[in-house]
Structure 1
């Protein structure tokens, strides 16, 4: 490398020595060929064979443009050659430095590509999919039109190879697993077997919707992955599981007080209102139920599972396949296939009844006979003398009866057979806000009863 850097300087020294008719010390044994033009100028002139130039001719020569320019050209040629040599030397040196710089950049780029080979392969596989081709980027989250891609091996390691003990719940096309992607990053991973076209469509639909939605009462989408026929959606981990597990699991709703249940209902209503009123186009969830309402460590409720959700479904519902969960499906959708935002309101009414009564949406009376919570409860919900006796035993006699009657009235309106009789979810939200304590997100101010002035003071005080 040092020799390459000094090579232009050596050429310049040799050039100068040649023009001085001296041998180049770096070219021993080489024959120096003098420049013909320089030799003709430096050689002695022959004796003149004509008479000397007269003073008039001499003065004419001094004023003749042709003679003056020719004389200056012969005098400037050596300087021009030195200037050209300097330019060539600088150009050669610059070319060498540029080559070295290019080599350095190539080395850095090659090292970077080797380091990120695995993640690049995953991105290429996803980018080649027609679905992921819809997005501008598949690298960053939080930007419009972008989806985070998580490497499959990271999910495999985080779930201990999808161990059965890490299962949080099961759905129609797969399971949801608890995963640890980092020392402090706990997430939920939904694994979908997309061998069928329906499962693939649900995966695409959920990712396409959730990556655009950000709301405190809708589950946070963190990323997705792909491995063969398996598809993975990564969410934030909700530490208290689903509302279904809390109500109908081993605890039978013991952790859910009356104020907490009203807060959960209010959170779910806020999530639905965002989908119906603030999304453009509006979104119909189409599968609202207690198993799709998840609870975080503070029992904040968030809507999840958007695989069946429909954007602008009221206008484009001709080709929608009938889907949903028995007990939550609105009668007009079940019988006529008519889907509107009032279908979600019906399902919300069923969830509200579950919170009030602690019963499942559909219960078996016999091996071949079932009864819905709506059919069973409707005659008693409007009877104030019977209503307090059918309330969930876990919360019985713990609420103001006026609040109980008001919530029951809202539930009855939501599950009306005729969609036009049902309220908008915004109206439901406004009805629930005054029933939730301020510290839980509502406007209800709970005051402790003040004892009379002459009341006896308890012992020990």
Structure 2
């Protein structure tokens, strides 16, 4: 059996991809490596594309930035939805610059000229003025005298850029945006700002491991299916846990510091932090005592006699802006809540402002709970709550308005013989769901457990990306305790520890995710524990590799004709691990993401090879 695992891993991890490479070396480095410049083999000879630049002293307006890159002002204004070229931009505000990228020799570049000022150096021009959009060695490699910068002369600057290749075109990718990474940048946050999945960035930059460190003063490519629009309201995480390591490959420009000075500095810093820690302890005990005395008084100030809504709901609404609809608006949008627009129990399809939406009727308590949870989350793989219509009292119905996923739920997609989900979409859907679960398990405060992950609570968008729905109905707060306060449990297959003793942890979601993986493999709906027994061939001792693959073929969706057997086996092994009776050995969502990220890359590569 170990031979089977080895073969599966070898086949999965041995595949290659033709995407551009990420270069971890700083812009100031004189070391050339794959990814230092983007190659133009098997790609278009030239293309219109974009780069991202951050406003900085000396380049604080569209007027100044346009001159730096030799781009017409009106194009930059249009790309960033701005009106005035002289408006002072916020420091580090991201500005989208439209450029023309062309192949020069073996590499893509966009040529601009820079007027050399006083005290300029190649490092300053590369890493400060152009913010890493050109490497130091690229800047000097074509110059006859790299040590001489004549003030007032024009320096040719080949900016880093890339054009989509044929596989990008098949996937609908129109632009590869060059994005300069800075300290505290995060791939997940960058992806959210551009409205794409982190896996798209990993695939495009040949990053196999999602835990790979992406360094400041380097660049990545952001693949987009439309012109870039950056959501600047999404900020980088302040927690060190969710940001990339800000280590930078350093270039020494001065003399060495003596060991004596290092000891002196280290001693001083140590004493400072000791004193700071003691002061913090004193402050903690004083404030905690005052908080205990004033706890009841502070709670009483939350009441209001002038509002007919729950004060807790008003508090949540102050943090989360929802569109408020009248009942008549929703009734008209849903065709009078007729059977023609009914999608399920108390769920209707409607149309508001020219956009399709989902309208869900629920009790006031459930609505308050759902709004409370959605007020703390914002993720591309979780269905978005857009509006609300409140009942007249706590006993009347409330209506919540959610975004509409055009391809319905995953269960409907899997049982549609007229449009069989190809393998690369199944792996992408699995990755999207795992990303959403990882977000609610580890990236929200407090963290949540969904408790209702099934193929019916996973919705598929028009571009075949997955979004988790029904967050709030069966969700529990993951407070670290063994038992959670569950209001509504799933109708699907429940983890055994919850059925036996009510123990609720994030491993309950992992168990349910394992069931979803089985459905992605077989297209059959899992209704009881007998479903997993068909995977016993994975743990049967003495099974030959050929027999294992035959058993897997009998388990797979018969409508799925082309798929890599090694990847299917790996997904089946992952599903089996998620379905362990004991929650302890089940993988975490972090472990699951590492495995599925690799599978997404290789599955797209497999799909591209089939298309050739």
Correspondences of 1:187-202 after superposition (within 5 Å): 187-192=357-362, 194=363, 200-202=364-366
- Is 2:370 the counterpart of 1:206? yes
Q: Call closer, same or farther: CA 1:431–1:158 in 2, change over 3 Å.
A: same
1:132-179 deviations in Å (ceiling 9; x for gaps): 5442656xxxxx3444322221101111111111122x2xxx322111
The alignment yields a C-alpha RMSD, in angstroms, of 2.7
Q: TM-score if structure 2 supplies the norm length?
A: 0.45
Correspondences of 1:61-460 after superposition (within 5 Å): 127-130=307-310, 133-135=313-315, 137=317, 144-168=319-343, 170=344, 174-182=345-353, 184-192=354-362, 194=363, 200-227=364-391, 229-248=396-415, 251-252=416-417, 254-306=419-471, 307-315=473-481, 317=483, 319-320=485-486, 323-327=489-493, 329-362=494-527, 371-382=528-539, 383-396=548-561, 398-437=562-601, 444=605, 448=609
Asked whether the equivalents of residues 246 and 253 of structure 1 are also in contact (C-alpha less than 8 Å), the reply is no
Distance in 2 (CA, whole Å) between partners of 1:341 and 1:392 is: 29
Rg larger in structure: 1
Q: Call closer, same or farther: CA 1:152–1:418 in 2, change over 3 Å.
A: same
Deviation at 1:319, TM superposition (A): 4.5
Asked whether the equivalents of residues 353 and 373 of structure 1 are also in contact (C-alpha less than 8 Å), the reply is no
Deviation at 1:373, TM superposition (A): 5.0
What residue in structure 1 maps to residue 69 of structure 2?
A: none
Q: Call closer, same or farther: CA 1:146–1:357 in 2, change over 3 Å.
A: same
Distance in 2 (CA, whole Å) between partners of 1:401 and 1:338 is: 36
Distance in 1 (CA, whole Å) between partners of 2:347 and 2:426 is: 25
Distance in 2 (CA, whole Å) between partners of 1:281 and 1:211 is: 12
Deviation at 1:446, TM superposition (A): 5.4
Runs of 4+ more than 4 Å apart: 124-127, 442-447
Asked whether the equivalents of residues 446 and 479 of structure 2 are also in contact (C-alpha less than 8 Å), the reply is no
Correspondences of 1:32-71 after superposition (within 5 Å): none
- For the residue of structure 2 that corresponds to 1:388, the secondary structure is helix
What residue in structure 2 maps to residue 11 of structure 1?
A: none
Deviation at 1:320, TM superposition (A): 3.7
1:226-260 deviations in Å (ceiling 9; x for gaps): 23522211011111010011123xx2483311111
Deviation at 1:372, TM superposition (A): 3.0
**How many residues are matched?**
297
Runs of 5+ consecutive residues of structure 2 not aligned to the other structure: 1-303, 540-547
Q: Call closer, same or farther: CA 1:445–1:358 in 2, change over 3 Å.
A: closer
Runs of 5+ consecutive residues of structure 1 not aligned to the other structure: 1-123, 139-143, 195-199, 363-370, 452-461
Q: Call closer, same or farther: CA 1:447–1:185 in 2, change over 3 Å.
A: closer
Asked whether the equivalents of residues 205 and 308 of structure 1 are also in contact (C-alpha less than 8 Å), the reply is no
Asked whether the equivalents of residues 435 and 444 of structure 1 are also in contact (C-alpha less than 8 Å), the reply is no
Q: TM-score if structure 1 supplies the norm length?
A: 0.59
Q: Call closer, same or farther: CA 1:313–1:247 in 2, change over 3 Å.
A: farther
Asked whether the equivalents of residues 474 and 488 of structure 2 are also in contact (C-alpha less than 8 Å), the reply is no
Q: Call closer, same or farther: CA 1:318–1:403 in 2, change over 3 Å.
A: closer
